[in-house]
Amino acid sequence: MPKGLAILTSGGDSAGMNPAVKCAVEYASQKGYDVHLVYDGLRGLIEGNIVPSTRDLISGILHRGGTMLRSSRSPQFFDIEYRRQAYENLKARGIDKLIVIGGDGSFRALNQFYNDFGVPFAGIPATIDNDIAGTDYCLGVDTALNVIREAVDSIRDTASSFSRAFVIEVMGRHCGYLALTSALACGAEICLVPELQYNLDSIGARIKHDLASGRRYVLAVVAEGTKMGDYLTRWINDSIGMEARLTVLGHIQRGGSPTVHDRIMAYKFAVAAVDSLEAGQTNSIMVFRDGTYGHLPIQAVADAKYQIDASLLRLAAPLAS
């Protein structure tokens, strides 16, 4: 009798989810699994929106951003009766293993599901915030960084043309990884992230000195978690005396065709996820650390706090002072 496995995407969408779905389906099928697809994330588990995977369903999705399986945030999944309904839906289809592509909230939900009904799962980290503990990389980050880079490079054209300052607010929830990395890659003069203390007096003195020395424009990259986008824009206008504009990039950062790096990472994570289930792992999260691939138990991921690489923080520190 074929082994049953279902794949779902959950939480915020990110580029790389579709390549991960495609590879997981193909590799699991090679391993003899009867593969199903769950539409609409955790809500789809509850509502039984589960279909057998076919070649047509996963054909032509490699280059698409977002998730063709769609996603949802389902408060109902916190209720044991709804989780029981999800379990019955899987049981009726002969599915006894899951792969979830998402963030730590999705992993916690599936871990509770495992504790309730013993359905093992493998988690693939996918969030542009790059804020999952235990892994240096999550699917979608490289694509998001390239979207930000292109936007900042375009904004620089206008900034230099009008000798203005531009504040660019990027996503990341409470994590400053996107802002910090983008500021370094794009040559920003100011970077504010939750992980670094900033000193506006020091920043102001530095920028005024640069302007007196011939600088014609200023770029500032701010993480949404600092809640400083509006304030910094007004501060540049009032304290430095330079005309400033705020650009909030918003959800454009989540979309776009996955970069080569995200596609390859998706393949490697997907293969690792299937292999971990084959090896009898029950609730492991795939991770990439210090250049190597592996997996960690959910507790090691959920109970730890993600920390940005200290070397990146040192590189960006001068931009906050």
Residue 73, pLDDT score: 80
- Answer yes or no: are the C-beta atoms of 234 and 222 closer than 8 Å: no
Task: Tell me: do 106 and 91 sit in the same domain.
Answer: yes
Task: Please report which confidence band the pLDDT of residue 88 belongs to, taking 50, 70 and 90 as the band edges.
Answer: very high
Task: Tell me: do 249 and 269 sit in the same domain.
Answer: no
Task: Tell me: do 249 and 271 sit in the same domain.
Answer: no
Alpha-carbon gap, residue 15 to 296, rounded angstroms: 23
**Number of domains the chain contains:** 2
Comparing 104 with 274, the larger pLDDT belongs to 274
The tens digit of pLDDT for each residue in 16-70 reads 999 999 999 999 999 999 999 999 999 999 999 999 999 999 999 999 999 999 9
Task: Tell me: do 135 and 163 sit in the same domain.
Answer: no
Q: If you average pLDDT over every residue of the chain, what do you get?
A: 96
- Answer yes or no: are the C-beta atoms of 124 and 21 closer than 8 Å: no
Its pTM stands at: 0.95
Question: Is the pLDDT confidence value at 236 over 70?
Answer: yes
Residue 218, pLDDT score: 98
Question: Is the pLDDT confidence value at 1 over 80?
Answer: no
Rounded to 5 degrees, φ, ψ at 31 are: -85, 5
Task: Tell me: do 77 and 125 sit in the same domain.
Answer: yes
Question: Is the pLDDT confidence value at 278 over 90?
Answer: yes
Alpha-carbon gap, residue 46 to 43, rounded angstroms: 5
Query: What is each CA distance from 166 to 92, 138, 230, in whole angstroms?
Result: 56, 29, 11
Which of the following is catalytic: 104, 129, 131, 262?
A: 129
Q: CB under 8 Å to 71, separation ≥6 — which residues?
A: 9, 10, 11, 12, 13, 40, 41, 102
Task: Tell me: do 127 and 38 sit in the same domain.
Answer: yes
Supply the range of the domain harboring residue 132: 3-140+258-304
Task: Tell me: do 222 and 175 sit in the same domain.
Answer: yes
Q: To which H or E segment does residue 108 belong?
A: helix 104-117
Task: Tell me: do 58 and 78 sit in the same domain.
Answer: yes
Task: Tell me: do 61 and 40 sit in the same domain.
Answer: yes
Task: Please report which confidence band the pLDDT of residue 303 belongs to, taking 50, 70 and 90 as the band edges.
Answer: confident
Rounded to 5 degrees, φ, ψ at 33 are: -85, 145
CATH number for position 120: 3.40.50.450
Question: Is the pLDDT confidence value at 2 over 90?
Answer: no
Residue 302, pLDDT score: 83
The tens digit of pLDDT for each residue in 142-200 reads 999 999 999 999 999 999 999 999 999 999 999 999 999 999 999 999 999 999 999 99
Q: To which H or E segment does residue 168 belong?
A: strand 165-170
In Å, how far from its chain's centre is CA 235? 31
| Mean pLDDT, residues 117-131 | 97
- Answer yes or no: are the C-beta atoms of 165 and 171 closer than 8 Å: no
129 is catalytic: yes
